[in-house]
Chain A
Amino acid sequence: MATAQRPLSPHLQVYKPQITTVMSITHRATGIALAGGAVALVFWLLALASGPEAFEVAQAVAGSWLGYLSLFVWSFCLFYHLSNGIRHLVWDMGYGFEIPQLYASGWVTVGASVGLTVLAWVVGLMGLGGH
């Protein structure tokens, strides 16, 4: 690796944050968070397979304020990564690269992920009485 303190090219710090760049790094951050969610899902399934006592513990963890906060953040991460992932798939097919289209699809993605998160929690919490 380089040992001398040579001057480097300007990097991220010289650029003003834009929706395109912020959404790009958010996609990566939400993906990393979802990997943690996958670990939690596996532990939840293992608890369910272990029996009622282990499941009680898992539900107590999920039902704590930290559990609810994690579930809320994970749900947003999931909807964001899903929506922006579809945006990526559209790019992969070669569409939507004009700047106005990029901005429009970006705001649609942000709106969809926020809207779906709120919708999921409203419906989920309303349905709590059903179980």
Chain B
Amino acid sequence: MAMRTAIARVRGLGSAKTGTEHWWMQRVTAVGLVPLTLWFVASLVSLAGADFETAYLWVASPTGSLPMILLLLAGLWHGKLGLQVVVEDYIHAEGVKVAILMLLSLATVALGVAGVFAVCKISFGE
């Protein structure tokens, strides 16, 4: 035990140089997504068959845009963490794995920026 330095004990990180952040953030986003998904499904159900005007005004209103942005961010983050584990579990060729994980990170950010941009454009009008 005395082999570990004080700072190593404080940080609580092992030889992997990382802690429980992946696992923990998956849970944090999961808890946030419980109310957000319920809101999302309820909204879609009430919007079934809606025309452009109705859908547009829904996303434009603060009660539509704010939860939508939160849903996009929490959902994409949660999905990125989940898919990362799937890739790490099933892809064993190191080069392919790193490439897919990189692509996953880039796609997550691209989708998040595109989604939030769309909501902002609708909210602010043009």
Interface on A for B, CB 8 Å cutoff? 1, 28, 31-32, 34-35, 38-39, 41-42, 45-46, 48-49, 52, 55-56, 75, 78-79, 82, 85-86, 88-89, 92, 120, 123-125, 127-131
Contact = CB atoms under 8 A, between A and B. Distances in A.
A46 B79 contact: no
B31 interface: yes
A28 B59 contact: no
Contacts of A130: 49
B44 to A, nearest CB: 7
Interface in B39-78: 41, 44-52, 54-56, 59, 68, 72, 75-76
A89 B31 contact: yes
Contacts of B56: 48, 55
A1 B93 CA distance: 8
A41 B76 CA distance: 11
User: 8 closest A-B pairs (Cβ-Cβ)?
Assistant: A45-B118, A49-B118, A124-B48, A128-B49, A131-B49, A42-B115, A124-B45, A131-B50
Interface in B69-126: 72, 75-76, 79, 82-83, 86, 92-93, 111, 114-115, 117-119, 121-122
A31 to B, nearest CB: 5
Given A39-B111, A42-B115, A32 B45 contact: no
Given A31-B82, A38-B75, A45-B59, A92 B27 contact: yes
Contacts of B1: none
A32 B122 contact: no
B54 to A, nearest CB: 6
A32 B48 contact: no
